[in-house]
Amino acid sequence: MLTRNFILILLGNIILGSAMPMLIILGGLAGAWLAPQSWLATAPPSAQMISGILVAAPISLFMGRFGRRVGFLLGAAMLCVGGLLGALALVVQSFPLLCVAHVILGGALICVNYFRFAASDAVSLDFRPQAISLTLASGLIAALIGPELFSLSKDALSPTPMAGAYGAMAALGLIGSLPVLGLSMGAHSATRPSRKTMPLREVLSANPRITAAIGIAALSQAMMVFLMVPTPLAMIGCGFADDQAADVIRWHVVAMFAPGFFTGSLIKRFGAGRIAAMGIALLVFSALVAWSGLTILNFTARSCYLGLAGTSASSAEHTCSRPPSAMKTVRDFKA
């Protein structure tokens, strides 16, 4: 299973994926520092999220036509450009430029999300599930690297706060392009056998479970964004240090990826519906923990429960495992 392409995919996913926890920390903090009004503090991460939604389908089509390798190089380039623009925005104190930087960075993160699909292309059919799981689990390393890199680099361009962290993200894009350059993968259509797919409208009408699965996954992701984006801002407002906020984000991301080692077994034993319901319950419990206090333990516990909840609720997509052609259509649409 450990083919040359697969190893390079893991390396690329770890390096480029390290930008994700950094952006969770940076978005609100940098926005609060530059925003002309306090209520605009979360505008940069919001622009990043909207950008990711809008470019997901075009990037999928782009990779289908030009190949995964070119798509990942595009993502690395966007990470470089977005990181440099973010650093420049802080240096010249331009809030609109910061929002533009996060729009570009949102597209970069979407490109990184496709590494799990590339992993399934890089191994034989029998090992595809394990390859996807390992690629997702490699996010644990990125979860440890990202916040640590933020702590080490945030003051590198002092006296401008946090500009160094954006510069570090640009460096990640440059370094992450190296394993991608070594990939030898063709276009998406060339690496997978041709399969007949159904239009999305027909898929949704044919299997109501698919609609429910998409709804639950969307709810879980929306709740995660709603609670995680303001977390660094809330912690700084409560008197905690930047490094403490970085630690909380680190454990949140670890909680997101760690269940990947055993979620499949739990779904097989208890069913995807029950696991998804447990995820929704964890979302509610996470909100209650956040409401109960403002200590470092509250922030850390709430973020861990939130990460677990997002992973569990997202398992709802396994409820639409039939028919196979419908599942492929939904996954490609979500991708």
Torsion, CA 256, CA 203, CA 335, CA 140, rounded to 10:
20
Asked whether 326 and 207 are in contact (CB, 8 A), the reply is yes
Neighbours of 148 (CB within 10 A): 17
Of 166, 191, 216, which residue sits at a domain end? Answer: 191
- Any idea what the CATH number is for the domain that residue 127 is in? 1.20.1250.20
User: If 0-12 CB within 10 Å is exposed, 13-18 middle and 19+ buried, where does residue 299 land?
Assistant: buried
Q: Are residues 157 and 283 in the same domain?
A: no
Instruction: Please check the confidence at residue 251 and state whether its pLDDT lies above 50.
Output: yes
Neighbours of 146 (CB within 10 A): 28
- Output the average pLDDT for the chain: 82
DSSP 261: G
Rounded-to-integer distance, Cα 230 and Cα 92, Å: 24
The pLDDT-based confidence of 188 (bands split at 50, 70, 90) is very low
Q: Are residues 18 and 149 in the same domain?
A: yes
Q: Are residues 208 and 187 in the same domain?
A: no
Average pLDDT over residues 53-71: 90
Residue 45, token pair as written in the block: 């991460």
Instruction: Please check the confidence at residue 327 and state whether its pLDDT lies above 90.
Output: no
Q: Are residues 243 and 278 in the same domain?
A: yes
Q: Are residues 38 and 95 in the same domain?
A: yes
Count Cα neighbours of 63 within 13 Å in the Cβ-side half-sphere.
27
Rounded-to-integer distance, Cα 307 and Cα 218, Å: 15
Q: 281: closest CA among 312, 319, 316, 314? A: 312
Dihedral sign, CA of 101, 103, 106, 110?
Answer: negative
Of 147, 171, 191, which residue sits at a domain end? Answer: 191
Q: Are residues 174 and 245 in the same domain?
A: no
Q: Are residues 185 and 204 in the same domain?
A: no
The count of domains in the chain is 2
Q: Are residues 151 and 217 in the same domain?
A: no
Rounded-to-integer distance, Cα 275 and Cα 264, Å: 10
The pLDDT-based confidence of 89 (bands split at 50, 70, 90) is very high
Q: Are residues 270 and 226 in the same domain?
A: yes
Of 154, 174, 191, which residue sits at a domain end? Answer: 191
Count Cα neighbours of 248 within 13 Å in the Cβ-side half-sphere.
31
Instruction: Please check the confidence at residue 328 and state whether its pLDDT lies above 50.
Output: no
Rounded-to-integer distance, Cα 139 and Cα 146, Å: 10
Asked whether 99 and 43 are in contact (CB, 8 A), the reply is yes
Average pLDDT over residues 73-80: 97
Residue positions counted in the chain: 335
Rounded-to-integer distance, Cα 139 and Cα 112, Å: 11
Residue 9, token pair as written in the block: 């995919």
Q: 224: closest CA among 160, 147, 307? A: 307
Q: Are residues 114 and 218 in the same domain?
A: no
Q: Are residues 118 and 8 in the same domain?
A: yes
Q: Between 197 and 187, where is the model more confident?
A: 197
At 312 the pLDDT is 64
Q: Are residues 42 and 65 in the same domain?
A: yes
- pTM of the predicted model, to two decimals? 0.80
The pLDDT-based confidence of 23 (bands split at 50, 70, 90) is very high
Parent domain of 266: 200-334
